[in-house]
Structure 1
Amino acid sequence: MIAEARMDALMNQGWQAADSTELDGWLVRRNAGVTLRANSVLPASAPFDLDKALEYVENLYVAHDIRPSFQISPAVQPSDLDAHLEARGYEVRNPTLVQCAPISDVLAKLPAPTTPTPDVNISTTPSTLWTDCWWSVDGRGDDTRAAAEEILVRGNALYATVANDRRAQAIGRLALVDDTAGLYCLAVDKDFRRRGLASAVIHGLLHAATDRGAKWVWLSVLEDNAPARALYDRLGFRTVSRYHYRVKA
């Protein structure tokens, strides 16, 4: 399996912020406030002076009109950073599990395709149909869409779409990093659920990833998302790390 610190680095590469600042072992990410991952500190190494580092981060984020936030995983440095942030009034947000599985195992466990088998289109860029479907399911407001779409196309990734002539029914994104692949943005239009489309999207993406040399697939799932966790458990995913965010109140 993949070590916790490497998992943090893979997820950072799979969902890249527009700007970042290196701060004595911390990566201070900024993306116009769109998504917590892209607007939080990844604390990979302990800074020499913790108090000064915290003050710098808070001032930098406030200057960019971003609420100061940190991604806290078992690999966080310093190891007691979570307690320091709690003492400074930071609140816990989005407890999340990081899960991983060999791609071959997931493909073997995926349900047999429905009849008729959905036609899954795989591309290296997201189409308008893809982004419209994603935003209709997971959108956070029209004024943030452009910044969110820019995150999608940073780095190497595959995009799966099940669609008719005018509308995407299901979509997914697979970030390709080294010999691993990260599953993001899995979404099914509310009018087309319970038809096996999510499994078809995963199947199409993972087959395409193996052709590109990927051996492992990873994903993040909110700890309280019982339906998604049940699906991933059936597909052979196992928890290898976890994280939550600390956001300044």
Structure 2
Amino acid sequence: MSPHVLEPIADAAWPARERKRLGGWRLNATEGFSLRINACWPLGAPDRDPESAIDAVEAFYGQRGLPVRFKLTDGATAPADLADRLERRGYRLHGETLLMTGPVVGVADPEVELSSEPDPAFEALLVASAKGNAADANERLQALGRIPAPARFARLTLDGRTAALGACAVDGEAVGIFGMRTDPGFRRQGLARRVLDSLLAEAGDLGARTAYLQVEDANAPAIALYAARGFSTAYRYRYWSWPARD
């Protein structure tokens, strides 16, 4: 799938609390932690000249006390010179991310429990993975709760502990993979692969044919895991933020 097709699907799958449109520009705002739901996605021409549109985006996030952030996607950013315009204003580049796609092929694991909403054990591991940042954990839990149906939440329990988890959002023939986490005490045991396989098997039963996921360019272990499951990079995106990030 091209970014023009897949980016709107990905936007709908991880919904922000507050959303606004400026023509083809999508403004997402939540609590400020998850970058995708706290950024402007300029996927088409804005409804005004670009400089005025940037002014409007800055006002939108400024009114909410959030950093101003743009998510620029290879092959799907409008106008094409937006990065240059942002750089001239003092924005800085960060957070290069791969959008990987792969086949919806997997075998259900009997030890991976699936549900249509996150249960308390699922939530507990997600909160623990936030490393004490309760606001970040809360934002992600709320975003998971906004995933439109059909959504599935996978949890693998070992030795009485939640060892790994993940979630997926099915939209027609596309399925997005989100929230993959493994308890540090259970890493390097192939648990993420088992969770992923179960999610893909379930998504296939729900009609999905193409899976997608986002992974930071620096996360070599995760990229290797997904590549081994047949995923490859479809395109990349990067964030431009102001005030500039270190």
Identity of aligned residues (%): 31
Number of the residue aligned with 1:243 = 237
Separation in 2 of the partners of 1:131 and 1:87?
A: 42
Kept in 2: contact 1:96–1:223 (CA 8 A) = yes
Separation in 2 of the partners of 1:126 and 1:56?
A: 36
Separation in 1 of the partners of 2:33 and 2:64?
A: 12
Q: Give the SS at the match of 2:199.
A: helix
- What RMSD over aligned residues (CA atoms) do the two structures have, in Å? 1.8
Number of the residue aligned with 1:207 = 201
Question: Is 2:182 aligned against 1:188?
Answer: yes
Task: Give the 3 Å change call, closer, same or farther, for CA 171–236 of structure 1 in structure 2.
Answer: same
Structure 1 length-normalised TM = 0.90
Task: Give the 3 Å change call, closer, same or farther, for CA 51–33 of structure 1 in structure 2.
Answer: same
Question: Is 2:155 aligned against 1:168?
Answer: no
1:164 positional shift:
4.9
1:147 positional shift:
2.6
Task: Give the 3 Å change call, closer, same or farther, for CA 138–217 of structure 1 in structure 2.
Answer: farther
* 1:66-104, Cα deviation, whole Å (9 max, x unpaired): 111000002011111111111111111210111101213
Question: Is 2:136 aligned against 1:144?
Answer: yes
Letter in 1 for 2:57: V
Question: Is 2:94 aligned against 1:102?
Answer: no
Number of the residue aligned with 1:135 = 127
Kept in 1: contact 2:14–2:143 (CA 8 A) = yes
1:165 positional shift:
7.9
Task: Give the 3 Å change call, closer, same or farther, for CA 100–180 of structure 1 in structure 2.
Answer: same
Kept in 2: contact 1:17–1:31 (CA 8 A) = yes
Number of the residue aligned with 2:191 = 197
1:234 positional shift:
1.3
Separation in 2 of the partners of 1:178 and 1:66?
A: 33
Number of the residue aligned with 1:177 = 171
Number of the residue aligned with 2:72 = 72
Number of the residue aligned with 1:83 = 84
Task: Give the 3 Å change call, closer, same or farther, for CA 31–231 of structure 1 in structure 2.
Answer: same
